[in-house]
Amino acid sequence: MGRKRKITVEHYLNNRLNTKKNNEGIVVVKLYLRLRGYLTQNQLKSNADLFNPILVDNWYNYIAERQLPEFSEEELKAPSVLQTLQREVDFIRFAWSKFEECGKGEIFPRTFSSVYINFLKPVQIQLSEKWNAELKNILAYSDLKGIGAIINWKETFSAIVQGLAEIAPKQSPLFEAIYPFIKNAAMLDRINSYSHGDCMFFFELEPYLNVELKDNKVAEDIEKGLYTTTDWLLMGNFLRYQFNNEISRATSN
């Protein structure tokens, strides 16, 4: 293997852009990232606001209303802001390392800005959308389609499954249909326990995907029969595939 190249990721306020004052009369500036590596330097707009603690249930409302983050010099010194910025830096380094694994590390500084946002869908949202679609399809193409027609599919995946489980007698066709999804909801609960209900990204969940390496919480769930090791690994494989697919798209040009 070749020598690992040194890369630098840092935030800065882009004072070349027009500044403005916030409601308190303090000058605020757009936040950018500066990337250095492979004898090149480039900059891109920060998405640091998406690394703030955001409840999963609030994600789409936040996305619909969001504006790119602006900060004053003083705000950048606050511990909570520094923690958020470090979370974004950690993600950028993780993504860069994946480019390097593909032998495309040198194109990262100049190309990542155009694909950055594609990587920022929380894992809970990805899984909920996948499992909701699967459950909806199963109900639509069975004798249970009447139930599928009255479900509010805008509800969260866990809420839908919990509601169905409450009305489904054991051994009934409905219970048999939703049983695999009860296990999925338990895995989603475990992920939410790691993130305290906030959005979590793949690079943060990845260390937990190997049951034996990170902690024993997943092992405890498996021991209780909430889901199996295979269930957890397949879930991880799906998320890994989604992330790697974005990497492939970004490095194929």
The model carries a pTM of 0.89
23: containing domain: 8-119
Give the per-residue pLDDT at 27.
Answer: 77
Give the per-residue pLDDT at 213.
Answer: 58
Give the per-residue pLDDT at 141.
Answer: 85
245 occurs within a structural domain:
yes
Question: In the chain, helix, strand, coil percent, each to 5?
Answer: 60, 10, 30
Give the per-residue pLDDT at 1.
Answer: 45
Give the per-residue pLDDT at 123.
Answer: 97
3 occurs within a structural domain:
no
97 lies in the same domain as 133: no
Q: Which residue, 119, 140, 161, sits at the end of a domain?
A: 119
- 219 within 8 A of 178, measured Cβ to Cβ: no
Give the per-residue pLDDT at 211.
Answer: 74
226 lies in the same domain as 161: yes
- 236 within 8 A of 209, measured Cβ to Cβ: yes
1 occurs within a structural domain:
no
144 lies in the same domain as 234: yes
Beta bridge partners of 42: 35
110 lies in the same domain as 46: yes
Give the per-residue pLDDT at 214.
Answer: 58
115 occurs within a structural domain:
yes
108 lies in the same domain as 128: no
151 occurs within a structural domain:
yes
What is the largest distance, in Å, between two alpha-carbon atoms of the chain? 66
CA distance 42 to 45: 11
113 lies in the same domain as 135: no
Give the per-residue pLDDT at 3.
Answer: 56
219 lies in the same domain as 151: yes
Q: Which residue, 119, 144, 174, sits at the end of a domain?
A: 119
213 lies in the same domain as 107: no
35 lies in the same domain as 95: yes
Dihedral over alpha carbons 168, 129, 127, 90 (to 10 degrees): -150
Look up tokens 């995946």; give the residue.
157
2 occurs within a structural domain:
no
225 occurs within a structural domain:
yes
Give the per-residue pLDDT at 212.
Answer: 72
Look up tokens 């707009």; give the residue.
45
Which helix (H) or strand (E) segment holds residue 29: the answer is strand 27-37
- What is the sign of the dihedral through the CA atoms of 148, 149, 155 and 160? negative
92 lies in the same domain as 158: no
Range list of β-strands (E), 22-160: 27-37, 40-45, 70-71
Range list of β-strands (E), 66-125: 70-71
Q: Which residue, 119, 149, 167, sits at the end of a domain?
A: 119
* Structural domain total, the chain: 2
Give the per-residue pLDDT at 170.
Answer: 86
Look up tokens 């603690």; give the residue.
53
149 lies in the same domain as 222: yes
22 occurs within a structural domain:
yes
212 lies in the same domain as 129: yes
Walk along the chain (253 residues) and give the pLDDT tens digit of each residue: 455 678 899 999 988 876 677 667 777 888 999 999 888 889 999 999 999 999 998 999 999 988 878 888 888 899 999 999 999 999 999 999 999 998 898 888 888 988 999 999 999 999 999 999 999 999 988 888 888 888 888 888 999 999 999 988 888 999 999 999 999 999 999 999 999 999 999 999 999 988 775 567 898 999 999 999 999 999 999 999 999 999 999 888 6
